[in-house]
């Protein structure tokens, strides 16, 4: 059902007036994790100032170590919702457990499925059965065919509002956190009718590469870019090394808009 052979025209995913996949690039910006209302509200204002509609922030964090910050859960989602509502933004946030989905639906506009859960088939079926857009990230060791099949799990349950997100894959290369598979973008655009975004933060893991990676993503045909923004990255509770501070975010957007 996600195949372009089944449906030749592009799917446009509508989120509170933002039309992802229609031609104009969309941006998903916000902190790695929701840490406090003040933190997300500062970022929400900056996001609004750039004319961006989609505010991200992790409340349920899938951390590699069980001793790392695990996120504020539903309380975090409420903070993000409030900050977003004050700026008329839409909320993008990850869900890791089908049991949290129903309550979370009250607070978010786009359900993110993270790389670590791309093949959590019960979660995919659960989000396929609800009436909310899904941002599906590529698993860090997933082939493009496996990625497309994960989207198929969602659409086969009835939900066709899916945005695919390339976020880098694991290779032998250590210069970047993951290897951004830029050619996945045109392949996914050819093989599916879904919008495709690129997450420049988790793919590169390097602040100095965010802008060139975002330019490459848009040049190769991505429908949008995701990146992380934090008021004070040095004290961030997750992904401290790669989030942009607010002045850097503004210059990043100005450069991209050129
Ligand atoms: C995220 O976007 O918050 C995240 C955890 O990314 P990924 O699932 O791509 O690692
Ligand atoms: Mn992060």
| pLDDT tens per residue across span 93-149 | 999 999 999 999 999 999 999 999 999 999 999 999 999 999 999 999 999 999 999
Output the pTM of the full model. 0.98
| Rounded average pLDDT over 78-92 | 98
SS3 content of the chain, % helix, strand, coil (to 5): 40, 20, 45
Q: Which of 28, 58, 203, 228 to mutate to test the pocket of ligand 1 (most atoms within 8 A of CB)?
A: 58
**Residue 1 counted as domain residue:** no
Range of the domain at 246: 13-20+27-257
pLDDT score for 208: 97
Q: Is the ipTM of this structure higher than 0.90?
A: yes
Q: Is 205 in the pocket of ligand 1 (CB under 6 A)?
A: no
**Residue 8 counted as domain residue:** no
**CA–CA dist 87, 85 (Å, integer):** 5
Helix (H) or strand (E) holding 196: strand 196-199
Which residue's CA is minimally distant from atom 10 of ligand 1? Answer: 115
**Residue 7 counted as domain residue:** no
- The domain spanning residue 196 has which CATH number? 3.20.20.70
Strand partners, 17: none
**Residue 2 counted as domain residue:** no
Could you tell me which of 15, 18, 89, 27 has the C-alpha nearest to residue 225?
27
**Residue 6 counted as domain residue:** no
Phi, psi (degrees; rounded to nearest 5) at 64: -65, -40
Q: Is 177 in the pocket of ligand 1 (CB under 6 A)?
A: no
pLDDT score for 137: 99
Report residue 43 CA to chain centroid gap: 16
Assess contact for 168 and 203: CB atoms under 8 A.
yes
Which residue's CA is minimally distant from atom 6 of ligand 1? Answer: 114
| Rounded average pLDDT over 192-221 | 98
**Residue 4 counted as domain residue:** no
Tell me: the pLDDT tens digits for 39-67? 999 999 999 999 999 999 999 999 999 99
Angle at 99 between CA 94 and CA 102, to 5 degrees: 75
Q: Pinpoint the alpha helices (H) of the chain.
A: 37-49, 73-86, 98-104, 121-128, 144-155, 184-191, 200-204, 210-219, 246-257
Q: How many domains is the chain built from?
A: 1
**CA–CA dist 136, 155 (Å, integer):** 12
pLDDT score for 60: 98
Could you tell me which of 221, 133, 149 has the C-alpha nearest to residue 184?
221
- What percent of the chain shows pLDDT beyond 70? 100
Rama region for 119: left / alpha / beta (φ>0; ψ in -120 to 50; rest): alpha
Angle between helices 144-155 and 184-191 in degrees, nearest 10: 40
pLDDT score for 37: 98
**Residue 81 counted as domain residue:** yes
**Residue 56 counted as domain residue:** yes
Dihedral (Cα; 187, 136, 123, 243), 10-degree rounding: 140
For 187, other C-beta atoms within 10 Å of its C-beta total 15
């Amino acid at each position: 059902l996600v195949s372009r052979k089944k449906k030749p025209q592009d799917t446009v995913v509508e989120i509170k007036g933002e039309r992802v996949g229609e031609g104009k690039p969309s941006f998903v910006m916000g902190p790695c994790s929701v840490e406090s209302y003040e933190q997300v509200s500062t970022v929400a204002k900056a996001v609004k100032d750039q004319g961006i509609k989609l505010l991200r922030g992790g409340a349920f964090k899938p951390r590699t170590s069980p001793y790392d910050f695990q996120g504020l859960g539903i309380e975090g989602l409420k903070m993000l919702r409030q900050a977003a509502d004050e700026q008329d933004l839409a909320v993008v946030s990850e869900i890791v457990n089908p049991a949290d989905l129903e309550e979370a639906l009250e607070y978010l506009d786009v359900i993110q499925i993270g790389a670590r859960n791309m093949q959590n088939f019960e979660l995919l079926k659960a989000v396929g059965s609800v009436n909310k857009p899904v941002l599906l990230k590529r698993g860090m060791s997933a082939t493009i065919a496996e990625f497309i099949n994960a989207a198929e799990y969602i659409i086969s349950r009835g939900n066709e509002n899916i945005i695919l997100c390339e976020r880098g894959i694991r290779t032998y290369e250590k210069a970047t956190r993951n290897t951004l598979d830029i050619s996945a973008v045109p392949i996914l655009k050819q093989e599916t009718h879904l919008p495709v975004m690129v997450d420049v933060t988790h793919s590169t893991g390097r602040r100095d590469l965010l802008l060139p990676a975002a330019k490459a993503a848009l040049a190769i045909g991505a429908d949008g870019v995701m990146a992380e923004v934090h008021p004070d990255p040095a004290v961030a509770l997750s992904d401290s090394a790669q989030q942009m501070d607010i002045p850097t975010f503004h210059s990043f957007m100005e450069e991209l808009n050129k």
